[in-house]
A = this chain, B = another copy of it.
Amino acid sequence: MRNKLRLLTPGPTPLPEEVRLALAQDMVHHRKPGFKAVLHRVQEGLQWLFGTTQPVLPLTCSGSGAMNAAVWNLFLPGERVLVVEAGKFGQRWKDIALARSLEATVIDLPWGQAVSPEAIHDALEADPAIRGVLVQASETSTGVLHPVREIAELTRNRDVLLVVDGISAVAISPCPMDEWGVDCLLTGSQKGLMLPPGLAFIALSARAWAAVERHSSPGACPIAYFDLRRERENCLKDQTLFTPAINLLNGLDVSLRLFRERGLGEIYRKQWALTQLTRTAVRSLGLELLVQKRYTWGLTSILVPAGLDGQRLLQIAADAYGVVMAGGQDHLKGRIVRLGHMGHVDFADVLAGLYALRQAFKACGGHTASRDYLEAGLAAYEQALDPRSVPGEEPERI
């Protein structure tokens, strides 16, 4: 084959070699001291990453499993929650809430739009019965970054738990749980964490734990597999309730070490810089972005111009250039391209993605404007890496 395979989807993401070698290690027993030491180290790293002093519980499941665990542990049937539905994963919150027999007030937004803190404020004011807000930090299906920090300012002084799906946000953009006052933060292994899928992580604030505890025996969570109280008891002994995904935890041990060597500030800055690279180059090409502001730092959604076949475009990029990107989901299928730049991805991977995108657009009969889109993107990238610039603050466009 002429080109290397480049996985630029919003998860799973490419793996660092050090992680891959850890995944290949022969098995050890999960109840013996050697592996307890791994769980202990991993726990310290996860608390650092989540910005919390609470235990961060590793669960052997996908991120969706952790979403189930959050809802089933924190709420009882009949309780009311406010759900932000602005994409496929907001929809998932709603589905899980309904399956748990919760009453759901839904803020239904066009896919591609972030919720405003005002909308949350008004909904909470209108209905004091609301016990929780379910939201994505980053809505992976669109690339929108919801204003978690501002929402937390509304929930932290009310009797309302803020439950945040951080699946495409943790280790990508800041979400310091304790500082912001998030009550539940969860993520999966296959996005920012540079691991294969198969592990999820969830942490609860002190008052979220109190909500779990207030439920009467036999426990807030009738799903034995997702019983967070028993999982916490095990976590405090460097154990897990059930046999965990040992090789993924060995990989996590390595990826957390790599993160700690670099520091959170550098991780977020790199993600921000790759986002600026992508957005600037895409705009230079004369293409439009789905999300104008409040965009995610780990993926960029590009609108497919009317009349072009989005599926064919992805196919060409994969076949001719080895670049695997994702399309849209549900009603955005064929209408957007999602270029993932999270996890173990660097500027050169993104350049390959941008070139493949442009060539595929041309092959599909699309018109792209600039010839120096790569240069323009790289200039924005360098500017974002400059320590004088602040990640999250977009410079004035020239």
Query: Which A positions have Cβ atoms within 8 angstroms of B?
Result: 5, 7, 9, 11-15, 20-21, 23-32, 60-65, 68, 72, 92, 95-96, 98-101, 188, 190, 196-199, 218, 222-226, 242-248, 318, 324, 326
Give the CA-CA distance A225 to B92 in the complex, in Å.
11
Known contacts A21-B24, A62-B242, then 8 further A-B pairs from the complex at CB < 8 Å, ordered by chain A residue: A7-B26, A12-B27, A15-B26, A15-B27, A20-B26, A24-B24, A196-B247, A197-B245
Give the CA-CA distance A244 to B27 in the complex, in Å.
20
A62 adjacent to B62 (CB under 8 Å): no
* Residues in B whose Cβ lies below 8 Å from that of A242: 62-65
* Residues in B whose Cβ lies below 8 Å from that of A29: 7, 9, 12, 324, 326
Nearest Cβ in chain B — how far from A77, in angstroms? Answer: 10
Q: Report the nearest B residue to A227, measured CB to CB.
A: B99
Nearest Cβ in chain B — how far from A123, in angstroms? Answer: 24
* Residues in B whose Cβ lies below 8 Å from that of A32: 318, 324
A26 adjacent to B14 (CB under 8 Å): yes
Give the CA-CA distance A23 to B244 in the complex, in Å.
16
Nearest Cβ in chain B — how far from A97, in angstroms? Answer: 10
Main secondary structure of the interface of A (DSSP, over half): loop
Number of this chain's copies in the complex? 2
Give the CA-CA distance A7 to B25 in the complex, in Å.
13
A99 adjacent to B65 (CB under 8 Å): no
Provided the pairs A224-B96, A324-B32 are in contact, do residues A247 and B61 lie with their beta carbons within 8 angstroms? no
Q: Report the nearest B residue to A25, measured CB to CB.
A: B20
* Residues in B whose Cβ lies below 8 Å from that of A198: 60, 198-199, 244-248
Nearest Cβ in chain B — how far from A65, in angstroms? Answer: 5
* Residues in B whose Cβ lies below 8 Å from that of A248: 196, 198, 245, 247
Give the CA-CA distance A84 to B100 in the complex, in Å.
30
Q: Report the nearest B residue to A329, measured CB to CB.
A: B31
Q: Report the nearest B residue to A9, measured CB to CB.
A: B29
Report which of B5, B9, B197 forms a contact with A60, defined as CB distance below 8 A: B197
Give the CA-CA distance A246 to B7 in the complex, in Å.
14
Q: Report the nearest B residue to A96, measured CB to CB.
A: B224
Report which of B5, B68, B72, B188 forms a contact with A243, defined as CB distance below 8 A: B188
A62 adjacent to B244 (CB under 8 Å): yes
Provided the pairs A65-B60, A225-B65 are in contact, do residues A243 and B197 lie with their beta carbons within 8 angstroms? yes
Q: Report the nearest B residue to A197, measured CB to CB.
A: B243
Q: In the A-B complex, list the 7 residue pairs whose CB atoms are closest, starting with the nearest.
A: A198-B245, A24-B24, A196-B247, A12-B27, A62-B242, A20-B24, A68-B225
* Residues in B whose Cβ lies below 8 Å from that of A98: 218
Q: Report the nearest B residue to A167, measured CB to CB.
A: B243
Provided the pairs A64-B224, A225-B65 are in contact, do residues A243 and B21 lie with their beta carbons within 8 angstroms? no
Provided the pairs A197-B243, A197-B245 are in contact, do residues A100 and B222 lie with their beta carbons within 8 angstroms? yes
Q: Report the nearest B residue to A98, measured CB to CB.
A: B218
A223 adjacent to B224 (CB under 8 Å): no
Report which of B5, B96, B196 forms a contact with A245, defined as CB distance below 8 A: B196
* Residues in B whose Cβ lies below 8 Å from that of A92: 224
Nearest Cβ in chain B — how far from A371, in angstroms? Answer: 30
Give the CA-CA distance A196 to B225 in the complex, in Å.
19
Report which of B15, B21, B68, B247 forms a contact with A224, defined as CB distance below 8 A: B68
Q: Report the nearest B residue to A343, measured CB to CB.
A: B27
A247 adjacent to B23 (CB under 8 Å): yes
Give the CA-CA distance A95 to B218 in the complex, in Å.
10
